[in-house]
Amino acid sequence: MSFDEAQRIVAEIVTRTVPIIQEFDGGDLKVLNTSLTAKDYCLVLLHRVRPPMRANLSRTLRQIEDGSVYIHSIGEKFQITQAGDREIEKRRLVEF
């Protein structure tokens, strides 16, 4: 087998992924996948970091939390649960 043929075979079986969140100097984050729903967007952020909560994000998270096993809150602090982490990974929401 030639080097070129081996390289072609490896290229066919390797899956390349691009991070869905880009972090900038100063800690600013940008979600790169614009097709996410508000629910998925919030789950991705919680999976990646624990951002300070703003009023609109807090409202969205409360709606997701209602009847969900993916998010848990105590007061105004939200955390993604282990089930939420597994759901993000299963649905490959952190890949772009």
pLDDT tens string 19-54: 677 777 766 677 788 788 878 887 777 776 555 545
By residue range, what is the domain housing residue 20?
A: 3-90
Tell me what pLDDT residue 53 has. Answer: 44
Asked whether residue 95 is domain-assigned, the answer is no
The pTM of the full predicted model, rounded to 2 decimals, is 0.47
Asked whether residue 7 is domain-assigned, the answer is yes
State residue 21 phi and psi, 5-degree precision.
-120, 130
* Close Cβ partners of 80 (under 8 Å, ≥ 6 residues apart): 43, 46, 47, 70, 71, 88
Tell me what pLDDT residue 96 has. Answer: 58
Asked whether residue 96 is domain-assigned, the answer is no
In tens, the pLDDT along 53-73 reads 455 667 777 777 777 888 888
Asked whether residue 58 is domain-assigned, the answer is yes
